[in-house]
Every structure is written in C-alpha cells, then in structure tokens.
Amino acid sequence: MRASILSSPATRALCAACRNEASRTKAGAAFSTTACASKIDSRTPLVPEQCRPRVTTTTSRVTSQRRLFSRSRVCQYSTSTSSENTSTTTQQKPNNPDKPIPRYYALFPSTLPHGPPPSGPFDIDLRALRREFLRLQAASHPDFHHSANQFDNNSSSSPSAEAQLAARRKAEATSSLINSAYKTLSSPLLRAQYLLKELYDIDLAGDESTDYQNGSDPMLLMTVLEAREVIDDAKSEEELVPVREENEERVKASVEKLSEAFAKEDVEAAREECVKLRYWMGIREGCDEWEEGKGFIMHH
C-alpha cells in the first residue's frame, strides 16, 4: 500500500484546521439558531395554541358591551321620548278626562281650540265664531247637494240616487246641528245653560223653580219688578234708556262672574249667576220689543 504523500505533522495540521473549521461552522449554526429563537421570542411566544389568550373573546366581549350600551341608550331615549309624549298628551287633555268635550264646542276647533271651561275660557270671540260658522255652513249646506233633490222627486231607485239622497239628508242634519251650536254659543245665557247641563247635569233652561216670582232671591225680585214697571209705563223709547243702561251693566257683571265661576269650577256660583243673567236678558228683550201700550213680556 502506498505511503501517504503528506508527512505526519502535515496531516495533524490539516486535521487541526478541519476541526477549527468544523467548530466555527457549529458555532455559526448555534448562533443562527439562537438569533432565530430570539426573533421568534420577541414576536410570538412559543406556547401551545390552547394557552394563548383569545383576542376573539375580548373582541366579542367589547362588541357585546357596545351593543348593551347602544341598547341602553336606545331604551333611555325611548323612555324619555315616551315620557315627553305622555307629558304633552297630559297637557293637551282637559282637566277632567272623564267628561267628553261638549259637542257644540267640538264643532268649532279653530275658535275654541281649548274646549269649554275650565281648560278654555267662558268668553268667546264672537267675530271668530261667526267666521268659522259661515265656513262650516258653506261646506255642509244642503243647497250644495241640489242634485240629490232631483233624484228625490223621481222614482228612481238606483244606488247612485240613494247615495246622493242620503248625502243630502246628512248635510241637512249637519247644517241644523251647526245652526243650533252657533246660536247657543253666541249667547252668554244659552252658553252658560248648555255648560251647566253638559258638564254638571244641571238643567236651568227648563227649571221653573228659578222663576223670580217664587221669591227665592228678594233682591232679584225687586229689580225685575221695577224694570217691568218702567217698561209698562213708558210712553216712548227715550224713557227706556236708563233701564237699558242699568241692565247692560248687570249683564256685563254677570258674564264676568260666570267666567270666574266656570274657571274655578264653582258650580253653585255659576248656577246662581246664570239664573240672574236669565232675567237680565229678559229685561233686555223687553226693552228691544217694547211697543206703546203692549206692556212688559218676560222671556224665559
């Protein structure tokens, strides 16, 4: 076998160089592994997946809290809105919700938006009432349904004829109701009597016990008898002027007292003043209808 061309010291030197190279290679590999491990440690911990904190749990929890907060705000807004609506509705209701608004007052919402006393005033703007009355009559007057009258005179029984006839009759009923309401509300006496009847079930229009001749109020009796005597003995309308002026002052005072009584819901005071106003209005009519030799006629 051939002997090595390298001497033994050379061989040992070569082996030492190889060993150094190998050790450097291992050291580099170890350094590379350590560096990679450090990079991994700085970014993501090498722990099992089941041990890692779940971000989705936190996210879902935050989302749930946001939804709960949003719902609570919606509920809070809904509750506040509901309370505001309830407050507004309560303010718009009459003081006594058990009593419906009288029908005559409901017919004139523009002139009487607050309804009858005590929520609305007893005094009424008569000019505004007149304007609304004319508008209502123009819209419901039977003359605007004149075409139905032709079918009424004929023997036709077609559905259109019957419908137009029914519309005309409805218009007549509505027009009659509007007339009655306007007549009642435009008179302080009739208005007071109507309110006492509708709100408190007190019928003074047909109560004969309020006649001044019964002597329940001596002062009222004396005032009416004196006015009657002056009207009976008058020879001209000029002699009625003092009676008219005094009586108009009494009418004005009674209307003011009625307004206060209805505003305070003082039923007894409203009843007493309504009885007085009944006779003051009778004296007014007696003066208006005076004729020489005719005498005094008290209207109830």
Task: Tell whether 270 and 222 lie within a shared domain.
Answer: yes
Q: List, in order, residues 6 or more apart from 300 with CB less than 8 Å away.
A: 211, 278, 282
Secondary structure (DSSP) of the chain:
-PPPSS-HHHHHHHHHHHHHHHHHHHHHHHHHHHHHHHHHHHHS----GGGSPPHHHHHHHHHHHHHHHHHHHHHHHHHHHHHHHHHHHHHHS-S-TTSPPPHHHHT-TTT-TT-STTTS-SS--HHHHHHHHHHHHHHH-GGGGHHHHHHHHS----HHHHHHHHHHHHHHHHHHHHHHHHHHHTSHHHHHHHHHHHHH----TT-GGG-GGG-S-HHHHHHHHHHHHHHHH-SSGGGGHHHHHHHHHHHHHHHHHHHHHHHTT-HHHHHHHHHHHHHHHHHHHHHHT--TTT------
Which of 132, 153, 186 is the C-terminal boundary of a domain?
A: 186
pLDDT in tens, 114-172: 999 999 999 999 999 999 999 999 998 777 655 545 545 554 555 588 888 888 888 89
Name the domain count of the chain. Answer: 2
Q: What's 150's domain CATH number?
A: 1.10.287
- Give the pTM: 0.62
Q: What's 229's domain CATH number?
A: 1.20.1280.20
CA distances from 82 to 45, 59, 97 (A): 54, 34, 20
Task: Tell whether 109 and 146 lie within a shared domain.
Answer: yes
Task: Tell whether 181 and 212 lie within a shared domain.
Answer: no
Task: Tell whether 172 and 130 lie within a shared domain.
Answer: yes
Residue 193 lies in a domain: no
Residue 212 has a pLDDT of 55
Task: Tell whether 178 and 216 lie within a shared domain.
Answer: no
**Confidence band of 292 (pLDDT split at 50, 70, 90):** confident
Residue 21 has a pLDDT of 58
Which of 153, 186, 219 is the C-terminal boundary of a domain?
A: 186
Residue 203 has a pLDDT of 94
Side chain identity at residue 69, one-letter code? F
Query: How many residues are there in the chain?
Result: 300
pLDDT at 111 over 70: yes
pLDDT in tens, 74-85: 344 344 444 444
**Alpha-carbon span 152 to 166, nearest angstrom:** 10
Residue 59 lies in a domain: no
Task: Tell whether 181 and 236 lie within a shared domain.
Answer: no
Residue 142 has a pLDDT of 75
Residue 74 lies in a domain: no
Residue 273 has a pLDDT of 97
Task: Tell whether 146 and 214 lie within a shared domain.
Answer: no
Residue 143 lies in a domain: yes
pLDDT at 105 over 70: yes
pLDDT at 211 over 70: no
pLDDT in tens, 185-202: 999 999 999 999 999 999
Residue 191 lies in a domain: no
161, 154 Cβ separation under 8 angstroms: yes
pLDDT in tens, 241-286: 999 999 999 999 999 999 999 999 999 999 999 999 999 999 999 9
pLDDT in tens, 22-81: 556 555 444 444 444 444 444 444 444 444 444 444 444 434 444 444 444 434 434 444
Residue 222 lies in a domain: yes
Residue 196 has a pLDDT of 97
**Token pair belonging to 7:** 């001497």
In 10 A of CB 185, how many CB atoms?
A: 24
Task: Tell whether 220 and 280 lie within a shared domain.
Answer: yes
pLDDT in tens, 222-247: 999 999 999 999 999 999 999 999 99
Q: Residue 176 region, left (φ>0) first, then alpha (ψ -120 to 50), else beta?
A: alpha
pLDDT mean over 89-96: 40
In 10 A of CB 282, how many CB atoms?
A: 21
Expressed as residue numbers, the domain containing 160 is: 103-186
**Alpha-carbon span 182 to 134, nearest angstrom:** 10
* Residue 98 CA to its chain's centroid (Å): 16
**Alpha-carbon span 281 to 287, nearest angstrom:** 10
Residue 71 lies in a domain: no
Which of 122, 152, 186 is the C-terminal boundary of a domain?
A: 186
Residue 212 lies in a domain: yes
- Mean model confidence pLDDT for the chain: 74
